């Protein structure tokens, strides 16, 4: 019988539970930034060292 143990690096803090997997992925992958239209759902990530950018902001940074 297979058993799986799930370890999370954070406790869910997004107002939308569907976003929690994106938060866990960003933390695990040690990304520098997360691009989203809804910064409010990820408001605690900057305190964890992850910058929040909108699609328009990332395009400006990339000079596109």
pTM > 0.85: no
Using the Cα atoms of residue 20, residue 26, residue 28 and residue 29 in order, give the sign of their dihedral: positive
Cα gap 18→7, rounded to integer Å = 17
For residue 39, the model assigns a pLDDT of 93
For residue 35, the model assigns a pLDDT of 96
For residue 3, the model assigns a pLDDT of 67
Q: Which one, of 49, 41, 43, 50, lies nearest residue 17 by Cα?
A: 41
For residue 8, the model assigns a pLDDT of 59
State the 10-residue block means of pLDDT for the chain, 64 residues long.
Answer: 63 77 88 94 90 96 86
H/E stretch holding 22: helix 20-29
For residue 12, the model assigns a pLDDT of 61
Q: Please give the C-alpha separations between residue 14 and each of 17, 36, 58, 63, in angstroms, as whole numbers.
A: 6, 13, 22, 31
């Amino acid at each position: 019988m297979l058993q799986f143990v799930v370890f999370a690096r954070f406790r869910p803090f997004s107002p939308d539970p569907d976003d929690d997997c994106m938060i866990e992925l960003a933390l695990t992958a040690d990304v520098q930034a997360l691009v989203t239209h809804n910064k409010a759902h990820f408001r605690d990530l900057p305190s964890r060292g992850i910058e929040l950018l909108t699609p328009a902001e990332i395009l400006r940074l990339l000079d596109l």
